[in-house]
Amino acid sequence: MMKSKKLMRILSGLVSGAMLLSLCACGGSGGSGAKESPAPAATEAAKDAGSEAAKEAGTEAAASGFQFDHRIEIMVPGGEGGGLDTTVRKFATYLEKELGVSIVVSNRSGASGITGYTWSHNQPADGYKYQFTAPSAIIAAAQGQCEFDLMSEIVPVSGLVMAEGMFFASPKAPFKDVNEMIDYCKANPGKVTVATDSPNGISGAIINEFCDQAGIELKWITSESNEGTISVIAGDVDLVINTWSDAGAYAESGDLVPLVVMAQQRSDIYPDVPCSGELGYTSDLGFYRVFTAMKGTPQEAVDAFEAAVHKVATTNAEWAQWLEMNGMGNTFVWDADELSEILQNTYDTAVEMNKK
């Protein structure tokens, strides 16, 4: 069973962006270049924690009967510096200690995540290749953008975190807070620009849900996540959909202005940022970030990887602290069965929306 009422809203709302694209002017382009780089080295404290864990009864992976013995590769269907990328790279510093092998993060961006999954589809399912994804790839597959049946090949492994969606503005925008933004948009429909990396995915759903409830219209600019953020910082675009983990540092430096977080109450991490609930809106969509594998991956490897993810996510104090600092919670560590239900519901909801 699903663990939160909010998740039900995520599943029903995250595909709404695809329905209104005909009303939006889109510009920019997404890249499909691949970049590989190792996860950053763990801090000395994390190394000590990993050593202590190794001295205990053994890792969960070993207990499951499968032991990883060489490098693991995690595909991220997005560019370097985005929310998926930064989250998995941080987590990997702890996960590789638990697994006892190194982890390489491979960025394969483009086509709302389909470029990355097409690449994974063509790789050997040897138990050493996994993916770390958000909803957009599943939604894109439901819209017929994938050349193979993604849902018959994707193997749920584990949930990890949820990041709340936020509107950030350029300091050069003609408004300084969310109420001024709404008033300006109403007076100038379609003039205010918003950058999104997945107009057919969760970012598009967040934009549409908020705009519907606020009664405003925005002009959409499609770009990679990091490119969109840079464009807003430069003042070329007015708004961007992002998360605190991805853009909070820019807000703290004054390069971005956080306008509103999609939540029913303010966060203790960024208490000065208004929430959509204060405006009387129910919009609270966010980005789940989860691990998958591909069909043919040995089940014992999937089980071992899942067990290691769960152990690190629920016991590592440094990871919990990092989540808190980046405005994310630690209550979305779904197991494989729960994640299977979530992914299937995401897909089914997208299919139904496409029929309307």
pLDDT in tens, 210-230: 999 999 999 999 887 678 899
**What's the pLDDT at 18?**
45
pLDDT, greater one: 40 or 159: 159
Q: Are residues 175 and 121 in the same domain?
A: no
Are 123 and 195 found together in one domain?
no
Specify the pTM.
0.72
Q: Is residue 230 part of a domain?
A: yes
Is the domain of 254 the same as that of 176?
A: yes
pLDDT of residue 52: 43
Q: Which of 199, 227, 204 lies closest to 111, judged by CA?
A: 199
Token representation of residue 216: 């405003």
> Do 181 and 109 reside in the same domain of the chain?
no
Confirm whether 253 is domain-assigned: yes
* Cα(180)–Cα(4) distance, integer angstroms: 33
Q: Is the pLDDT of residue 146 over 60?
A: yes
In a domain, 51, yes or no: no
Least confident span in 2-6, 113-117, 177-181, 187-191: 2-6
Maximum average pLDDT range among 27-31, 53-57, 61-65, 297-301 = 297-301
Do 11 and 342 form a contact (C-beta atoms < 8 A)?
A: yes
Q: Whole-angstrom Cα distance, residue 265 to residue 354?
A: 32
Same domain, 303 and 344: yes
Tens digits of residue pLDDT in 54-106: 334 334 444 557 899 999 999 999 989 888 999 999 999 999 999 999 999 99
Query: What pLDDT band is residue 28 in, cutting at 50, 70 and 90?
Result: very low
Q: Within this chain, do residues 154 and 301 fall inside the same structural domain, yes or no?
A: yes
Total tally of structural domains belonging to the chain:
2
pLDDT of amino acid 225: 65
Domain boundary among 249, 279, 309: 279
Domain of 333 in residue numbering reads as 34-42+69-163+286-355
Is the residue at 14 inside a domain?
A: no
pLDDT at 201 over 90: no
Of the three residues 279, 310, 341, the one that is the final residue of a domain is: 279
Q: Check residues 13 and 354 and name the one with the higher pLDDT.
A: 354
For residues 219 and 350, state if they share a domain: no
What's the confidence (pLDDT) of residue 9?
Answer: 53
Contact (CB, 8 A) for 342 and 157: no
**318 falls within a domain:** yes
313 in a domain, yes or no? yes
Show the tokens assigned to 129. Answer: 């290749």
Question: What does the alpha-carbon distance between residue 116 and residue 110 come to, in Å, rounded to a whole number?
Answer: 7
Same domain, 172 and 270: yes
CATH code for the domain in which residue 226 is found: 3.40.190.10
Q: Among 23-27, 93-97, 100-104, 321-325, which is the least confidently predicted range? A: 23-27
Residue 25 has pLDDT above 70, yes or no: no
CA–CA gap between residue 98 and residue 158 (Å, rounded): 16
b/e burial code for range 119-141 (CB count within 10 A of at least 16 → b): bbbeeebebbbbbbbbbbbbbbb
The average pLDDT across 235-244 equals: 94
How many whole angstroms separate alpha carbon 149 and alpha carbon 136?
15
pLDDT of 269: 85
The arithmetic mean of pLDDT across residues 41-65, rounded, is 42
What per-residue confidence (pLDDT) applies to 35? 52
Among 226, 244, 279, residue at a domain's last position: 279
pLDDT exceeds 60 at position 117: yes
105: Cβ contacts below 8 Å, ≥ 6 apart: 36, 37, 38, 39, 73, 74, 76, 85, 88, 89, 92
Residue 337 maps to which CATH number?
Answer: 3.40.190.150
The answer, yes or no, to whether residue 352 has pLDDT greater than 90, is no
89 plus 107 within the same structural domain: yes
Secondary structure of the chain in the HEC alphabet? CCCCHHHHHHHHHCCHHHHHHHHCCCCCCCCCCEEEEECCCCCHHHHHHHHHHHHCCCCHHHHCCCCCCCCEEEEECCCCCCHHHHHHHHHHHHHHHHHCCCEEEEEECCHHHHHHHHHHHCCCCCCCEEEEECCHHHHHHHCCCCCCCHHHHEEEEEEEEEEECEEEECCCCCCCCHHHHHHHHHHCCCCCEEEECCCCCHHHHHHHHHHHHHCCCCEEEECCHHHHHHHHHHCCCCEEEECHHHHHHHHHHCCCEEEEECCCCCCCCCCCCCEHHHHCCCCCCEEEEEEEEECCCCHHHHHHHHHHHHHHHHHCHHHHHHHHHCCCCCCCCCCHHHHHHHHHHHHHHHHHHHHC
Local confidence band at 285 (pLDDT 50, 70, 90 cut-offs):
confident
Question: 302 and 320: one domain?
Answer: yes
- Among the ranges given (123-132, 138-147, 149-158), the one the predictor scored with the smallest mean pLDDT: 138-147
Q: Are residues 225 and 261 in the same domain?
A: yes
Q: What number is the average pLDDT over the span 10-17?
A: 50
Say whether both 76 and 153 belong to one domain: yes
Whether 296 maps to a domain, the answer reads yes
* Per-residue model confidence as pLDDT tens digits over 327-346: 887 888 999 999 999 999 88
* Residue 61 lies inside a defined structural domain of this protein: no
270 has pLDDT over 80 = yes
Residue that wins the pLDDT comparison between 1 and 137: 137
